[in-house]
A and B are shown apart, each in its own frame.
Chain A
Amino acid sequence: MSDNANLPALTKQVSELVLAGSLQHAEEAFSQAAEEHGDYAVAEVLSTLPPQVTALHLAGFDGAKTSLATLLVPPKAWADSLAYLAATWPDDMIEDDPERIAEGLFNHVHGIVFATDDAERRHELLAEASATDHGATVFAILWSLAPKEILEVAGEILAKGPYVTGQTSSDSDVVPLAIELAKASEDGWERSLLELFPEFRHSADLADVEFSDDPDEEPTFLQRSTRELLYRLRKQVPSMRSMPRRGTRKSMGTDIFS
């Protein structure tokens, strides 16, 4: 790296552009930085941006519009930014058309995860994203678009381990993503399943469940709806409010382990 010194300035510039709503200009700043300092500089800036800014920036792009940021965002930065996505969803839209938000979310996740052919990066992205509570909720929202297929996939993954084909009775776009997630992080996959089907303690229980073919029949076990999950994600948006430290005693920080 020739001059890391420019990066803080670039971080500030991009933050301001994004917050001002000028995604196009932020993206231009990125490509200029990539030309001058290489891709590494962009990844570096993306990892130092506050997660809510990253969320706002990435939310402006999906499968249809690609951006340098979607190609280069570090897995951890993306995983943190997912927590803030729900902040922008209007209440009445969650109420009236939750599927549309969920599909938008799917496009976003799919766009980032499948932006490159690099399987290693894909697995890192999925593993980081599903390592958090809000990440589990994000994936559960996507699965709630096709719960029946997800149950089938879950059963198949249990039976065949990593040699899954993803053949389900009706093809759904979420299936390939589910299989990738299960390959990338078994824990994350389980967490997302249990977020969708909270009554189960272990995904093995899910294999025995049969979905009824009659769409009007009430499911016999608890499954969270897309709308409910969207609200759950909304509640997990971290607040910026921080309380001032009380008392005069200074915290010794990680010295507590010394």
Chain B
Amino acid sequence: MSGAPKNMLPAIVVEKLPRLVRAIRLLPEWATAEEAAILADELSGITAMVAERFTNDRTAEGIGRALLLTVGGVSLGLEHVVDGDSDTAAIDYLIEHGAEQAFQAGFRLIRDLDALPEDTLVGEYDNDPVYAQRRLKELFVDICTADPGESWTGYERYQGQLKQRTQARSIVRAAQWLRRHHHEGPVNDADLNAEGVIALAIIFAAEGGGRIVARAGQKEFERFVAAVRKNKPDFEAGWAELLAQVPAAHQAVIAERIATYRDSCTVLRNIGTKASPKQLLAEMENYAGSELEPDYP
């Protein structure tokens, strides 16, 4: 220890057991023997159903893993339906409404979370039922595996994921709106790079004229570069025109990206220099990715 710096403090680790476990510890004072027995019955019933569906109900190991998932699932439900951090409120809920209802609430959170896009890249597998089932299981296992004797952070991780995925969904929706209103007619493609679509629309909007471009080829891009170099439009006016067409629900997402691109977009910055269209196209690909068709049609 002599080598350690003087100001080093011991790490403070606060144990935070799964909510269900904390509630169960109150059973002796808060519940009758009958109520405790009912709760035990319900929890073992849930464990059996979870094992049958997600692990293996015919081996001890499968049932062991189902037990962890049950503790996490019920705890997640309790965190959601019980106000505040009170363990007495949690045990009251379990006695009054039953563990199954708490588990159902928790599992619904996982289902709803799973329905949100994981990121802003949408692919064909995202809508495939087999993959959807597998993702649901992975998410359930990831968040709800709770060892009764150890700290569990599933609810915090759930909240973090919810926030992240809600954001991803609003970006995807904004991009989908842009695609539907593409100036050449709606773009239909199972794969979507939402950030790419938005970048494309913002960069092309700088030209002015109020056209919404959600998909472009190399030819169109070269025409755009030539037009901007010739007419020297006011980018801000073009963006105001774009924003004016976008419904209120998607404005925030697009305005946020306009603000970023205003200062840092290398395509728009280099368009005023002597950069060749080829160099600019390479820059453009960094923003639009697969949404920019690189070859002449």
Shortest CB distance A247–B (Å):
4
Q: Which of A132, A243, A252 contacts B59 (CB 8 A)?
A: A132
A256 touches B103 (CB 8 A): yes
**Contact mask for chain A residues 92-125; partner B; CB cutoff 8 A; 1 contact, 0 none:** 0000000000000000000000000000000000
Q: Nearest B residue to A136 by beta-carbon distance? A: B59
Residue A163 is within 8 A (CB to CB) of chain B in the complex: no
Given the known A-B contacts A246-B37, A249-B38, A257-B53, are A133 and B60 also in contact in the complex, defined by CB atoms under 8 Å? Answer: yes
Given the known A-B contacts A251-B42, A254-B49, A256-B104, are A133 and B98 also in contact in the complex, defined by CB atoms under 8 Å? Answer: no
Chain A residues contacting B100 (CB-CB under 8 Å) are: 251-252, 256
Q: Which of B34, B59, B60, B104 contacts A258 (CB 8 A)?
A: B104
Choose among A132, A191, A253 the residue with the greatest number of B CB atoms under 10 Å from its CB: A132
| Apart from A246-B41, A253-B49, A258-B104, 15 more pairs, CB < 8 Å | A131-B56, A131-B59, A132-B58, A133-B59, A133-B60, A136-B59, A243-B41, A246-B34, A246-B38, A252-B100, A256-B100, A256-B103, A256-B107, A257-B49, A257-B104
Bound-state CA distance A245–B98 (Å) is: 14
Residue B46 is within 8 A (CB to CB) of chain A in the complex: yes
**Contact mask for chain A residues 155-197; partner B; CB cutoff 8 A; 1 contact, 0 none:** 0000000000000000000000000000000000001000000
Bound-state CA distance A26–B49 (Å) is: 35
**Contact mask for chain A residues 227-257; partner B; CB cutoff 8 A; 1 contact, 0 none:** 0000000000000000101110101111111
Q: Nearest A residue to B60 by beta-carbon distance? A: A133
Q: Nearest A residue to B106 by beta-carbon distance? A: A256
Given the known A-B contacts A131-B56, A131-B58, A133-B60, are A252 and B104 also in contact in the complex, defined by CB atoms under 8 Å? Answer: yes
Bound-state CA distance A246–B164 (Å) is: 43
Bound-state CA distance A251–B41 (Å) is: 10
Chain A residues contacting B56 (CB-CB under 8 Å) are: 131
Q: Nearest B residue to A244 by beta-carbon distance? A: B41
Q: Nearest A residue to B102 by beta-carbon distance? A: A256
A256 touches B41 (CB 8 A): no
Chain A residues contacting B41 (CB-CB under 8 Å) are: 243, 245-247
Residue B45 is within 8 A (CB to CB) of chain A in the complex: yes
Bound-state CA distance A132–B58 (Å) is: 5
| A-B residue pairs in contact (CB < 8 Å), sample of 9 | A131-B59, A132-B58, A133-B60, A246-B34, A249-B98, A254-B49, A256-B100, A256-B103, A256-B107
Shortest CB distance B47–A (Å):
11
Chain B residues contacting A131 (CB-CB under 8 Å) are: 56, 58-59
Chain A residues contacting B45 (CB-CB under 8 Å) are: 251
Chain B residues contacting A136 (CB-CB under 8 Å) are: 59
Q: Which of B34-54 contact A (CB under 8 A)?
A: 34, 37-38, 41-42, 45-46, 49, 53
